[in-house]
A and B are shown apart, each in its own frame.
Chain A
Amino acid sequence: MAFEIEYTNIGGISGPLIFVQGVRGVGLGEIVEIRDGSTLRVGQTLEVDEDKAVVQVFEGTSGLALEGMRVAFVGSALEVPVDRAMLGRVFDGLGRPIDGFPQVISELRMNVNGLPVNPWSREYPRDFIQTGISAIDGMNTLIRGQKLPIFSGSGMPHNLIAAQIARQAMILTEEEEFTVIFAAMGVKFDVARFFIDSLEESGVLTHSAIFLSLADAPSIERLITPRVALTLAEHLAFEEGMHVLVILTDMTNYCESLRELSSSRGEIPSRKGYPGYLYSDLASIYERAGRLKGYNGSITQMPMLSMPSDDISHPVPDLTGYITEGQIVLERELFNKGIYPPIAGLPSLSRLMKDGIGEGRTRGDHAQVAAQLFASYAKVKRIRSLAAIVGEEELSQLDKVYLSFGENFEEHFLAQGEHENRTIEQTLEIGWKMLSLLPQEELYRICREDIQRYYMSEENLECRI
């Protein structure tokens, strides 16, 4: 920049915002440098007027005073360097290295907000990812380029599951491994440590990039962290042809930062104090997943969020579910029963599953087996609530068969080891074992041919379970 005017006339400070007066020619979304003694903070304009500007400060405003602050508008929107060399490195929430090594030198700097993908330029994702987890592969298949969040609750093992997926995820037809980008927003150090260790253990740390805006970092910084991570992901996927798995945790913390910012701007809140634009804001993150026509790479997103008091209708999980392509929901009841992974049988859903499975991808019977498991398990849930009232003895014979199916399904299909990596054939085989506990007539979601082919007769079944 040839010359920079520094402004010192600060009208006010409120939450993460400062109000700068007497400014001229400042643009919306422009980057701002705030100097206070020797420390430098970075911000961005949210609103510009003929002579004043509202600036959000990413590092927060704590310690700033009306006097003694110097503010410079340095033009253009927030940009970060992107480069392959960023793999194997650890950065802060704004993309600055914190692993003791120098800043990555790159000619390429990209706007962290990215640009909207032209829907016409997208390639519909279809490649089945085998995660080795039956509840996912069998019933809520993950597809390369999908955005599939995990809805969790306090204390539940979403981190274990995400780490297991990062470790085991593979495409059946390809050798190539995923490049993992991990962005932590407002989580504790031990959570970050756990991920780093687990990536290291499985030997993928050298081709992972880690962005940490931990619980002790300024809350406003979290608004940038996922965007920095996705900017790098876009570069790696669509310039370098890599298959990138982006894990974002915890989106609830992200949303709380946004709520904080919104309330300090005095905006009219929508549900539970979150701003009315939460949906659009989240979409600007989640929609940065997928595949593009004519490019090799892909971005698969796995955002994690905790549902406050396990409430799936809370705005954060609710709006997330409205944007992502399904959701993996963890269930307290299963968790309390000691089942790992406690992936809820019914509310979990993968919307891209339909085009990624079946003959030539997984197996011809996959879709119907999944549909039948869902339908039968739904019936188990109904019978359980009935049994809770009338008592199990009062149930019909068939209902009792269903209950036994339910128990087996949870113990053998859903439950598995943290390091157990099941092939899709194994998953479907267990699925059929479970369904074979039910009378054939009950399998009305499955076509006759498949029943003939895979249904196990009673003797058959006994020796296999």
Chain B
Amino acid sequence: MEGLIRGKVVSVNGPIVKAVGMKGVRMFDIAEVGPDRLIGEVIRLLGKIALIQVYEDNTGLKPGDEVLSEGRPLSVLLGPGLISSIYDGIQRPLVGIAEKCGSYIDKGIKLSALDTEKRWELKPLAESGAQVREGTVVGEIQESQLITHKIIVPHGISGVLTSIVEAGGYTIEDVIYTVDTAAGPYEGKMAGYWPVRSPRPVKVKKNPHIPLVTGQRIIDTFFPIARGGTAAIPGGFGTGKTMTQHALAKWCNADIIVYIGCGERGNEMTDVLTEFPNLIDERNGRPLIERTVMIANTSNMPVPAREVSIYTGVTIAEYYRDMGHSVAVMADSTSRWAEALRELSSRLGDMPAEEGFPPYLATRLAEFYERAGLVETLSGPDGDITIIGAVSPPGGDFSEPVTQHTSRFVRCFWALDKILADARHYPSISWIDSYTEYLHDIEDWWKDLDSQWLTVRNAAINILLEDNRLQQLVKLVGADALPVTQQFTLYVAEMIKNAFLQQNSFDAIDKYCSPEKQLKLLKTILTLYEKGMILVQAGLDIKDITERPLVSEMVRLKSEIPNKETERIDAYSEGLLKELESLKELLLGV
């Protein structure tokens, strides 16, 4: 440390503080402001003046108050113990804060993000005398039953490993190994700081090719996302952004979830906190909390910390990616982050671009989503980060700047539809306005499961598109005026919506639908379409098909047949085929 920089407050405008006398301070350094030593960050340097954004409630702060800086950038502490934790936007542990000051968050609280006393069972994986460089794995910890935590030589360090401890229990403050570097000896610990605003380095970026399986039919089958991909969920209030993110956080097949509650409701974080320890991941029998890190900077917490929270979250994600894990980041909501940006930039007197947002909104969004990806890590194995951001457009109008810019930088767009949500058709992801660009990247994965996957998917989408077109006509003339074949298409489209797309997150069976089950359900509906259409074309009354009890029961398959018993769908399908066959006889008989 180059020693302490001491300055003085000259003015306070909300969370933006002007200070003088901060000679030597750099952009994005941490500054501690006022007698409570509130955490802030230097966000602008103008001649003698440093502008500091304060991350805590700063009422009472006065001109003349002291500002201190150690000349260290705003960083997160990365090390074992992050898993299952819940932090605020600047990585202060909320459990620790509650223990210290009760139900409300007092200002000026300083607590270590990681437990400094806990001993972790370390297994050394390198021997002294070895040549190490950034990315070399020197040890391993079992952080939770699910997560193997690697101790990796940090960026910028290389040389000869001069010492390394024996296997045993160590704290994050113990020196674990030493490296003789060109710049002198380096003492390696299990934890270290990383500046939140800088992406962590990787060897190379790769093209994503494996789907992130979410168990949500409209996503996996219709608009899939790849591991390492990016997606946005835009939608007006109450359309299901948070529910979708919760469903993904629960059931998607990533190794680690980083859930960022950015400017949203306190109770939604509480919901995660109370539910996740009790939800068991079927794939490994462990509670979901053991793979989850939470960042909660809710709407009533200081706005500037909301702006940092998404960087805090994604930096933690990168840390685990660098160990070769697959990480999914949920950011709810990126609009609140953008609004924080707007509020701060307006206090700084920046010239606004669209709707008061600063001109650099698009760049910042792009930078954020760019931190997703499938990469070859410095430590060797591949790791990936998938980013899924909720967007909350004012008035539910997608033409606003945050939705518009976001759609330029994500490759999956799950547009939520108010009309579907009002009819309680959940997830209310529109099959008309949504899209994915990962279809071809992940096609091979699905084809291993079933070579017809893409054909089936496209056939179903086409029926829905046809339905959408026909609905325009229906609005004018009524359904009965359409040719019977088109009426049958409408019927099947309705079936796809109700028996396939609609999926209730609270349904004990249907909340997660395996890829196999998804395919079988969809194929069954398409069987009805293909075989039924032939009968209708041959003159059979639609009602003879639709009023068959077996047909009207199709909508119950999803919630009555568990993932493990999909052969029952096969049995149903066979029954259906037989029934349609018998209808054919009926037709011929007439």
Contacts and interface: CB of A to CB of B under 8 A. Distances in A.
A444 B557 CA distance: 11
Interface stretch (B10-18, B115-123, B124-132, B310-318): B10-18
Given A277-B343, A346-B423, 5 more contacts: A28-B14, A115-B105, A116-B302, A354-B506, A390-B476
B334 interface: no
B151 interface: no
B389 to A, nearest CB: 16
Interface in A1-48: 25-30, 46-48
Interface residues of B, number: 75
A28 B424 contact: no
A461 interface: no
**Nearest 10 pairs between A and B by C-beta?**
A29-B59, A378-B423, A283-B299, A313-B395, A321-B237, A115-B104, A287-B300, A121-B103, A346-B422, A119-B269
Given A28-B59, A117-B300, A386 B478 contact: yes
A120 B62 contact: no
A389 interface: yes
B62 A26 contact: yes
A48 B63 contact: yes
B266 A30 contact: no
A259 to B, nearest CB: 14
A287 B395 contact: no
Interface in B382-398: 392, 394-397
Contact of A119 (B86, B237, B504): B86
Interface in A344-379: 346-347, 349, 351-352, 354, 367, 371, 374-375, 378-379
B476 A389 contact: yes
Contact of B61 (A27, A116, A123, A315): A27
19 contacts: A27-B60, A28-B60, A49-B11, A116-B105, A118-B94, A122-B266, A122-B267, A270-B356, A276-B342, A277-B303, A287-B266, A290-B266, A293-B103, A346-B423, A375-B425, A386-B478, A441-B552, A444-B498, A448-B556
Given A49-B10, A119-B86, A122-B267, A374 B424 contact: yes
Nearest to B349: A268
A67 to B, nearest CB: 26
A396 interface: yes
B171 interface: no
Contacts of A284: 299-300
Q: Which of B299, B397, B480, B552 has the most CB of A within 10 A?
A: B299
Contacts of A98: none
A95 to B, nearest CB: 19
Nearest to B296: A119
A207 B267 CA distance: 28
A25 B8 CA distance: 12
B424 A118 contact: no
A318 B105 contact: no
B104 A25 contact: no
A116 B478 contact: no
Given A115-B105, A276-B356, A287 B265 contact: yes
B270 interface: yes
Interface string B480-506: 110000000000000000100000101
Nearest to B336: A279
Interface string B254-276: 00000001010111011101100
A447 interface: yes
A77 B394 CA distance: 33
A80 interface: no
Interface residues of A, number: 80
A77 B59 contact: yes
Contacts of A294: 103
Given A119-B86, A280-B299, A77 B237 contact: no
Interface stretch (A172-180, A210-218, A323-331, A424-432): A323-331
Nearest to B505: A354
Interface in B434-480: 474-480
Contact of B424 (A268, A295, A375): A375
A238 interface: yes
B271 A47 contact: no
Interface in B41-74: 57-64
A394 interface: yes
B339 interface: yes
Contacts of B11: 47-50
A124 B106 contact: no
B301 interface: yes
Contacts of A351: 238
Interface of A: 25-30, 46-50, 76-77, 113-125, 238, 267-271, 276-277, 279-280, 283-284, 287-288, 290, 292-295, 313-315, 318-319, 321-323, 325-327, 346-347, 349, 351-352, 354, 367, 371, 374-375, 378-379, 385-386, 389-390, 394-396, 441, 444-445, 447-448
Contacts of B422: 346-347, 374, 378
A445 to B, nearest CB: 8
A367 to B, nearest CB: 7
A371 B300 CA distance: 32
Interface string B27-53: 000000000000000000000000000
Contacts of A276: 339, 342-343, 346, 356
A118 B559 contact: no
Given A117-B103, A287-B265, A50 B479 contact: no
B63 A50 contact: yes
Contacts of B343: 276-277, 280
Q: Which of B105, B271, B424 has the most CB of A within 10 A?
A: B424
B298 interface: yes
B224 to A, nearest CB: 26
A346 to B, nearest CB: 4
Contacts of A26: 62-63
B157 interface: no
Contacts of A349: 238
B63 A283 contact: no
Contacts of B423: 346, 374-375, 378-379
Given A27-B59, A116-B300, A271 B105 contact: no
B352 interface: yes
A389 B394 CA distance: 32
A394 B474 CA distance: 12
B372 to A, nearest CB: 25
B586 interface: no
